[in-house]
Amino acid sequence: MKAAETDTLDDSLDDSQVAAWLATHPDFFRVHGELLTSLTIPHESGSAISLLEHQINLLRDKNRDLQHKVDNFLANAKANARLFEKTRLMILEFLKASSMDELNKVVDLTISREFGSTRTRLLFTAGTARTEGGQDMDEQEAREILGPLFEKQRTFCGELNEAQARLLFPEEASKIVSAAIISIHSTTAPDTEAKATPSALLVIGSEKTRHFNSEQDTLFLDFIGEVIAALISRMA
């Protein structure tokens, strides 16, 4: 191709066409490596750097991002391993209980200790006839104050308002600001409607605002609730 023809062709190209052509010819700079050091691009500092240096900087940034993701993954794995071990030990303690009175005591002791909470309570809806050693809670009042939290299938973690704190933790209401509310559903209820209404609530309260929050994974707390539900059904 003659020089004049090359100049005419170059003048007719726009940025998008050049970018598209380079995208379909990824080996171009491998063949013409000398161009990498001669091309310059703007840099955040205001100076100009070579394309090769820019690529190296991009690779370093990507490497840092990947390392950050790996570190987060490992941290989450370690946290889950610790939670699993705590959950395993708690459940072994629960299984030693032979009565509702013993279960209520061991639940309060072990969960408060392992989760670093201020108070743990196992509250039964009135009329369940399973409250030996436990504490009754008026179902209608609970529905009005807790709203959708009362029949929530998954564990709720977050801050409580004043009325909710008084209902769940009457003696510590002024101190409790965040809590986990775990619905305990009967495993022997005769129909779906009965199973939808919790026979009890396991509530874990804390004086710390973010101790229980909506960003938490509730998998282990859900599992603890299922184990307690099975134990209550067996004792009933």
**pLDDT tens readout for residues 128-165:** 545 455 577 788 888 889 988 887 888 999 999 999 99
Place of tokens 């201020």: 118
> What is the layout of strands, in order, in the sheet containing 200-206?
135-137, 119-125, 200-206, 178-184, 156-159
The pLDDT-based confidence of 209 (bands split at 50, 70, 90) is confident
Rounded to an integer, the average pLDDT of 118-129 is 75
H or E, element range at 183: strand 178-184
Which backbone phi and psi does 6 adopt, to 5 degrees?
-60, -45
Distance of alpha carbon 174 from alpha carbon 108, whole angstroms: 19
* pLDDT for 92 beyond 90: yes
**Which of 20-24, 177-181, 183-187 is the most confident on average?**
177-181
Q: Band of the pLDDT at 3, cuts 50, 70, 90?
A: very low
**CA–CA separation, 187 and 236 (whole Å):** 11
At residue 129, the pLDDT reads 45
pLDDT for residue 32 is more than 80: no
Among candidate residues 230, 228, 233, the one with its CA nearest the CA of residue 103: 228
Residue 49: pLDDT band (50, 70, 90) is: low
Between residues 50 and 179, the one the model is more confident about: 179
**β-pair partners for 157:** 180
What integer is the mean pLDDT of 88-109? 89
Q: How far is CA 142 from the centre of its chain?
A: 26
Tokens, residue 85: 């071990």
Residues 90, 94: Cα–Cα separation, whole Å = 6
CA distance linking residue 100 with residue 34, whole number of Å? 80
Coil/strand/helix, residue 194: helix
